[in-house]
Chain A
Amino acid sequence: MQYTTDVRIIRLMCTGRVDPPMLADAFMKGADGVMVVGCHFGDCHYITGNYQGKIKVGLASRTLDYVGLNPRRVSFSQCSSAEGERFVNMVSAFDQTIRELGPLGNAERVALPELKDKLAIAKTVLSREKIRWVVGKFTEFTTTGNKYGERFTEHEMWRTLDTIIMDEVATYEILRELENAPASAKEMAAKLKLPPPHVLKYVLALQRRGFVGLAEIDGTSPRYQIVDPMAKEEAA
């Protein structure tokens, strides 16, 4: 029973403890792959913690994928404490995958220095209220339903979360841009490779929430800036 020396294990009590920003953090700090290994379903030492773990890892993986990370760099696996051989096989297979992908940046849509910025945005998104609220309701909405008794399929929940990921990433990227200097929707759209109407939509939403205000009007296009110091903190 031997496996690669490239793995470092961080002990948590349960995969339920895995907080999505931890995964973004690991990649930001230079990890090439992250495996989350927990009990088999139905056999969780903490009853249902592993189900929560799977949802949280799923969220992290989707968010990281959206900002450009190759999703094969994240794995959620299961193995009991008596299954040494299985663990070895899982680690070896994952190691093989990571070797194929190469170092971080090699197999991603976005190249390295920029990727790290994107990962930082992902970490922020995963730490924030909106997405955490919805993912926290995942189990309730898919089993007992919301307070109107509507029950959602897992597929519907993931689709909702995907939309939120998209909105949140754009929002925090815009805040980061405005943090540097006032900018117009068009300028930011070019930089963030997003359609200008989308950027305008997010900017207007931020304006309504009081985070962003008008800085100047350059010709026909308005430039925006951060007005609420709270927003600066949020953007950080």
Chain B
Amino acid sequence: MLDVGRHPRINLLAYSEVENVSGDAGNFRVKVRKKARFVNEDLCTGCGTCAEKCPTMTVDVFNAELGSRKAIYKYFPQGIPSIYTIDKDACRQLGQGKKCGICAKVCQAKAVDFEQNDGEIQLHVGAIVVATGYDVFDPSVIPEHGYGRIANVVTALEFERLLSASGPTAGHLDRPSDMALEKEIDDLEKEHKKLSRQLKQLEEKHGKSSAQVMDLVKSGAAAADKDLHNWAASAERFGELEARLEPMRQKIGAAQPAKKLAFIQCVGSRDFRFNKFCSSYCCMHSVKEAMIANEHDNEVSSSIFCMDLRAVGRGFEEYKLRGGKQANIKYVRGRVAEITEDDALNPVVWFESTTSRQVLHETFDMVVLATACVPTAGTPKLAELLGIELDSNGFFKTDPLAPLNATRDGIFVCGCAQGPMDIPESVAQASSAAARAAEVVAPARQVAAAGSQ
């Protein structure tokens, strides 16, 4: 990333979208809309003071919505270009019309610009490489897996963030149900603290205890005194909070990080209801996640539920076997029928074992869904803009014997934009696409070079 940002021959247009493409191979004209960041790219040094002082918290999309970030933000810490952007919808000033502007005040580089508008750029290029990647399948449409309904059923990508040392849990396998409880306690405690302060002030001011006031109101003696009624209501709420918080605190005190994991393969892939194709990388991804979880805490055990475990790259089969031997990973052949939830919020996995021919169920601390790799939401629109075809699965269509070529000359597709594949294959394909693109632009380059001599 850093290399891309620094390369003298790469013009990086981040936070931008292609709007129109015309012309032919060797001579394309592309219209790009550069979205307003509300931060001047030339002035911003990426120092981050603005984000630190920004008073507005919003959901952190990068951390799979498991954490939060500020309204002026960088998508993730190592992001390139290292420039901040205001999330227009979350921002007090831009989105909610309130007075704020703190970021502009603290920015010593004077880079914040609330008046910035979208820009338009015209590019003249010889070849186009499409590397738009993929989306992760949304598993909430599969009713039997309970995603969205059962707190401790997460996607592989969410689990990746939980495992990450720079993620929301600093790499500890805290269960989402416990994290939610913690947040609830936090919120209630804030209210509790506020009420406690208010009540104390009232008690000091009026020389009466809250209990007395409550009795007074109950007895009807306070009749029309609105202040006293409010006081009593606050006191009642305070008592309620006390009663609610105590068991919650006990519960969170007893909460343990997840130790027993289930990984469900082919969630949304190899499933005729959703996508018939195989997503290619998820088997190894699950094995890797199970290995890392075990490295982090060697009491963690994992069961991987799969039809075939597809370990087809160099060292993959060996890695899979090592996981079984050294990292408490069990490979269970069978398709999961349903996931339910028990009283302790543990997911229970129901499945038919194809080896013992029985319907079994097993309780886990957390279930990880290996969700399918699907075409990005913008794929059909981009295909239309570029004038290229999609295959029957909705990925950009390519020719098996000319594996980078899209259906229009001068346009090449690499990586998961043409179908699911793992990182090494994507990286190799990226180079291949560059080779093809270079062949297209080579004549023009030679002319340009000759002209400059």
Contact check, B170 vs A82: say whether CB atoms are below 8 A apart: no
Closest to B78 in A: A82
Find chain A residues with CB under 8 A from B78 CB: 82
- Is chain A's interface secondary structure helix, strand, loop, or mixed overall? helix
Is B47's beta carbon under 8 Å from chain A?
no
Find chain A residues with CB under 8 A from B166 CB: 82-85
Q: In residues 78-93 of chain A, which contact B (Cβ within 8 Å)?
A: 82-86, 89
The size of the chain A interface, using a CB distance under 8 A, is 6
Find chain B residues with CB under 8 A from A89 CB: 170
- Is chain B's interface secondary structure helix, strand, loop, or mixed overall? loop
Report B5 CB to chain A, min CB distance, Å.
15
| Complex alpha-carbon distance, A168 and B383, angstroms | 71
Q: With A84-B77, A85-B165 given, name 6 new contacts (CB 8 A).
A: A82-B77, A82-B166, A85-B166, A85-B171, A86-B171, A89-B170
Find chain A residues with CB under 8 A from B165 CB: 82-86
| Complex alpha-carbon distance, A86 and B166, angstroms | 8
Closest to A87 in B: B165
Interface string of B156-171 (1 = CB under 8 A from A): 0000000001100011
- Of A84, A85, A89, chain B has the most CB atoms within 10 Å of the CB of A85
| Complex alpha-carbon distance, A124 and B23, angstroms | 72
Find chain A residues with CB under 8 A from B170 CB: 85, 89
Interface string of B134-165 (1 = CB under 8 A from A): 00000000000000000000000000000001
Report A89 CB to chain B, min CB distance, Å.
8
| Complex alpha-carbon distance, A82 and B62, angstroms | 14
Find chain B residues with CB under 8 A from A86 CB: 165, 171
| Complex alpha-carbon distance, A79 and B297, angstroms | 17
Find chain B residues with CB under 8 A from A84 CB: 77, 165-166
Interface string of B161-199 (1 = CB under 8 A from A): 000011000110000000000000000000000000000
Find chain A residues with CB under 8 A from B77 CB: 82, 84
| Complex alpha-carbon distance, A86 and B170, angstroms | 8
| Complex alpha-carbon distance, A157 and B281, angstroms | 39
| Complex alpha-carbon distance, A89 and B172, angstroms | 13
Report B59 CB to chain A, min CB distance, Å.
21
- Of B78, B166, B171, chain A has the most CB atoms within 10 Å of the CB of B166
